[in-house]
């Protein structure tokens, strides 16, 4: 579609060339035969996988709209989308929806992000809503939403106006938990009622007493399940018109922390489309190791035969596309078991670091680790200044730095230390207040311009000082998935990641889209603990592309 191509070129530039995964996806989607029911796009971080799945999605939706082949059913819910895009965090949901809106500008599709700001609610406004005075205004907001996908919200009350019919929506982007709250109602997980028992979340004993057993032992919100309270008068979203579901960061949304919520939502969408899928929780899909690169199929594997005998096919009544920078072995086996005819499009650089991303190992001094981190920050900025002065630039621009820690307490401690040393920071963890604002403004200055939902003021003066404007962001793996940080950002990994996959995602925030980047890995170079560090360095070396 010419207008779709024009929007794409405005975003990526007239001279941009498709990456390997984009070429695989586009060639695959433009073939004469119908698109596959199930597909997986897999490629290194920063290779443009969002474009690889959004272009076919948006074009297919527009074509079906124009030729009248899409028959949408009327709905009483506020939103009844034709496609759903799932992401593990609200930050990524906002980035994806912003990018999808920009891509679809010329073809006029309606994209809605479920991770919007909350419409403030108080007990008084709640009383007014029950009196019919404020419901219409409150229906314009989704509620504050969850902070991350596997934990319900804790601080919002949301009332939905029942009087509005479903508005025409093409795509809704959000986290699985948020969409479950919108469809089932806030607090659906507090007590499983008889309707919810149709989708079993535990391996319950089959028999007439099983339902009573489940209802007599509800999961207690705030104890067994963290969350707040809310009244939802009618569903905010319905799924009977969903034709396509895309799962971004599939290695996360099918891991042990998220898979139950993800698969439960897929079962709900399927049920809304008239096909019941009995979802039963299985053993966790471990993300301990990616599928070995040498054994991983490359390119279009739609003709690969399933050799396992324990196929338990799941047939969803919608197209399902997964996107991931890694393919954990357990995920690969899960897909071949339940979707044996899945088409896997895997780039040749899968499970490697981007070729323009350099790694540098930094040894701990044996003293204050925070001081070692501060020293490396100032070394980078000193090099920035030296390079600028050599080119006659009197006011150098200092690099942005993204620091990954394993624990929220470490994030807070390091941030406090650097602030005391005159280095402004942005510290973000799952409980950070900034994340409740319903926008990505807390990431301004660190994300690529097209990825932001907030805006920065135009600044024509000299470069800002790190004493005035934050140049350092400190976080956990929370922000390691999918976000388009500035391509030249420096990444510090100061704690050993959980596994290789976690490392690939953290390191992959730099050196994106073919730009040069650098990752600093902090470890003990000698003495106690150095043997473990040598093993880590060896593993990192194996991830570096040789070609």
- What is the dihedral sign for C-alpha 422, 491, 95, 181? negative
Strands 299-300 vs 343-346: parallel, antiparallel or unpaired: antiparallel
Flag whether pLDDT at 471 surpasses 90.
Answer: yes
Bridge partners (DSSP) listed for residue 426: 473
- 394 or 120: whose pLDDT is higher? 394
Question: Which sequence spans correspond to the domains of the chain?
Answer: 2-117+165-182+234-282+313-346, 357-452+466-543
Mean pLDDT confidence for 123-145: 34
pLDDT of residue 311: 75
pLDDT of residue 210: 29
Contact 202, 142 (CB under 8 A): no
Distance CA 443, CA 301 (A): 38
Q: Which stretches does DSSP call E strand in 260-316?
A: 299-300
pLDDT band for 106, please (50, 70, 90 cuts). confident
User: Tell me: the pLDDT tens digits for 354-380?
Assistant: 888 899 999 999 889 999 999 999 999
User: At which residue do the structure tokens 């006029």 appear?
Assistant: 108
Residue with tokens 């405005």: 10
* Beta strand spans in 167-214 (E): 167-168, 171-174
End-to-end CA, the chain: 35
Rounded (10°) CA dihedral 382, 388, 391, 392? -110
Confidence of residue 182 (pLDDT cuts 50, 70, 90): very high
Is the confidence at residue 517, as pLDDT, over 50?
Answer: yes
pLDDT top residue among 306 and 275: 275
The DSSP result for 446-475, as a single string, is TB-GGG-SS-PPP--SSPPPTTTS--EEEE
The dihedral over CA atoms of 121, 124, 126, 129, expressed in degrees to the nearest 10, equals -110
Question: Which of these ranges, 249-253, 447-451, 493-497, has the smallest mean pLDDT?
Answer: 447-451
Which region among 217-221, 345-349, 464-468 has the lowest average model confidence (pLDDT)?
A: 217-221
Please provide the size of the chain in residues: 547
Closest Cα partner for 244 from 90, 79, 58? 58
d(CA 462, CA 160): 48
pLDDT, position 280: 60
Q: Classify 53 as helix, strand or coil.
A: helix
Percentages helix, strand, coil for the chain (3-state, rounded to 5) are 35, 15, 50
Q: How confident is the model at residue 233, as a pLDDT?
A: 55
Q: Which residue shows structure tokens 């007439």?
A: 208
Average per-residue pLDDT for the chain: 76
Give the residue, 61 or 307, on which the prediction is more confident: 61
CA dist 115 and 436 (Å) reads 10
Tell me how far CA of residue 386 lies from CA of 392, 397, 443, 464, in angstroms.
10, 11, 28, 17
The answer to whether the beta carbons of residues 279 and 199 sit under 8 Å apart is: yes
446/491 Cα distance (integer angstroms): 12
CATH placement of domain 357-452+466-543: 3.40.50.300
Hey, do 2-117+165-182+234-282+313-346 and 357-452+466-543 end up sharing a CATH topology, with the first three levels equal?
yes
359, 521 in Cβ contact below 8 A?
yes
Report whether 273 contacts 318 (CB < 8 A): yes
Query: β-strands 167-168, 357-363: how paired?
Result: unpaired
Of 107 and 9, more confident: 107
pLDDT (tens digit, 9 = 90+) per residue, 317-353? 999 999 999 999 889 999 999 999 999 999 988 888 8
Mean pLDDT score, 208-230: 35
Quote the DSSP letter at residue 514.
G
H helix or E strand, kind and range, residue 184 = helix 176-184
- Cα–Cα distance, 122 to 138 (Å, whole number): 12
What percent of the chain has pLDDT above 90? 40
Residue 148: per-residue pLDDT: 34
Of the candidate ranges 72-76, 118-122, 170-174, 208-212, the one whose mean pLDDT is the lowest = 208-212
Cα 173 from Cα 90, distance rounded (Å): 9
Enter the CATH code of domain 2-117+165-182+234-282+313-346: 3.40.50.300
- Residues 357 and 507: beta-carbon distance below 8 Å: yes
pLDDT in tens, 62-85: 988 888 777 777 777 889 999 999
Place of tokens 């290779």: 47
Yes or no: say if 510 and 402 are a contact pair by the CB < 8 Å rule: yes
Instruction: Specify the pLDDT at position 484.
Output: 87
């Amino acid at each position: 579609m010419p207008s779709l191509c024009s929007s794409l070129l405005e975003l990526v530039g007239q001279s941009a060339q498709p990456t390997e995964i984009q070429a695989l996806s586009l060639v695959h989607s433009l073939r004469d035969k119908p698109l596959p029911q199930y597909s997986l796009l897999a490629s290194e971080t920063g290779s443009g996988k969002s474009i690889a799945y959004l272009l076919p999605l948006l074009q297919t939706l527009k074509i079906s709209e124009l030729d009248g082949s899409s028959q949408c059913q009327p709905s009483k819910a506020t939103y009844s989308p034709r496609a759903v895009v799932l992401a593990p965090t609200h930050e990524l949901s906002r980035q994806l929806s912003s990018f999808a809106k920009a891509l679809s500008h010329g073809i006029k599709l309606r994209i809605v992000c479920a991770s919007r700001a909350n419409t403030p609610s108080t007990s008084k406004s709640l009383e007014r809503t029950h009196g019919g005075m404020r419901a219409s205004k409150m229906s314009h907001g989704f509620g504050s939403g969850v902070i991350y996908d596997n934990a319900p919200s804790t601080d919002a009350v949301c009332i939905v106006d029942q009087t509005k019919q479903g508005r025409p929506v093409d795509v809704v982007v959000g986290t699985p938990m948020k969409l479950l709250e919108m469809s089932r109602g806030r607090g659906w997980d507090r007590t499983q009622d008889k309707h919810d028992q149709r989708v079993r979340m535990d391996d319950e004993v089959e028999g007439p007493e099983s339902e009573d057993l489940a209802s007599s032992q509800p999961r207690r919100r705030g104890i067994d399940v963290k969350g707040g309270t809310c009244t939802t008068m009618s569903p905010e979203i319905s799924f009977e018109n969903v034709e396509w579901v895309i799962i971004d960061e599939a290695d996360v949304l099918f891991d042990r922390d998220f898979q139950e919520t993800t698969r439960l939502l897929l079962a709900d969408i399927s049920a809304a489309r008239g096909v019941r899928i009995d979802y039963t929780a299985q053993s966790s899909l471990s993300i301990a190791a990616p599928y070995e690169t040498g054994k991983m199929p490359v390119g279009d594997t739609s003709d690969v035969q399933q050799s396992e005998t324990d196929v338990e096919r799941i047939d969803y009544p919608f197209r399902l596309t997964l996107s991931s920078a890694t393919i954990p072995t357990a995920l690969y086996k899960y897909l071949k078991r339940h979707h044996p005819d899945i088409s896997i499009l895997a780039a040749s650089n899968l499970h490697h670091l981007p070729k323009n991303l350099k790694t540098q190992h930094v040894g701990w001094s044996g003293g204050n680790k925070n001081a070692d981190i501060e020293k490396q920050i100032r070394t980078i900025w000193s090099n920035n200044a030296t390079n600028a002065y050599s080119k006659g630039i009197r006011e150098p621009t200092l690099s942005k730095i993204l620091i990954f820690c394993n624990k929220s307490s470490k994030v807070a401690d390091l941030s406090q230390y650097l602030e005391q040393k005159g280095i402004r920071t942005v510290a973000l963890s799952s409980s950070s207040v900034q994340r409740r604002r319903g926008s990505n403004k807390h990431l301004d200055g660190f994300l690529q311009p097209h990825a932001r939902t907030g805006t920065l003021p135009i600044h024509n003066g000299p470069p800002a000082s790190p004493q005035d404007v934050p140049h350092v962001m400190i976080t956990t793996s929370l922000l390691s998935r999918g976000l388009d940080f500035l391509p030249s950002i420096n990444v510090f990994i100061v704690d050993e990641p959980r596994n290789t996959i976690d490392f690939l995602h953290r390191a992959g925030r730099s050196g994106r889209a073919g730009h040069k980047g650098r990752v600093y890995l902090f470890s003990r170079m000698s003495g106690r603990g150095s043997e473990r560090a040598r093993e880590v360095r060896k593993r990192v070396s194996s991830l570096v592309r040789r070609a």
